[in-house]
Amino acid sequence: MKSKGSLCRIRKCVFDLLSMEEELVDENDDNFEFIRKDLRLKSTFLYFDLSQIISIAGDEHKKASLTHLANTLFSCIEKLGNALKSRRVSLIQIHYHDAALALQEVMTALQLLHGRNERK
């Protein structure tokens, strides 16, 4: 049951992060500090909630797979945060794209994992 709340927060964070693409291509760097702080906050929620989901995942293979995807995601988010700090738009776009792909991979894995559990 506690995984439902975590999944809901993960979906919300993923939606919010995937929605910030337009803000990141704007060369108005006044927003970059706000976006970086928002990214840090959302990644904190993602870290907590993904840890919850991983801890209750069934077998060790699922846990290892989710852990690998989560580690990749957080690495991409960290690089995006550093790019935002540098205020280099081309670098921000590259790292945003990588983070978006990692977010989509995590969501696909979670849907496969929890889609099966909900049908049982």
The two structure tokens encoding residue 83: 């790019």
Could you give the number of structural domains in the chain? 1
Sign, CA torsion 81/83/85/88: negative
CATH code of the domain in which 71 resides: 1.20.120.290
* Owning domain of residue 35: 2-119
For the chain, how far is it from start to end, CA to CA, in angstroms? 14
Which amino acid does the sequence have at 79?
Answer: K
Greater model confidence, 113 or 36: 36
pTM here? 0.86
User: With 80 as the cut, is the pLDDT of residue 119 above it?
Assistant: no
How much is the average pLDDT of 20-43? 83
Place 29 in a pLDDT band, splitting at 50, 70 and 90. low
**77-118 confidence digits (pLDDT tens):** 999 999 999 988 899 999 999 999 999 999 999 988 776 555
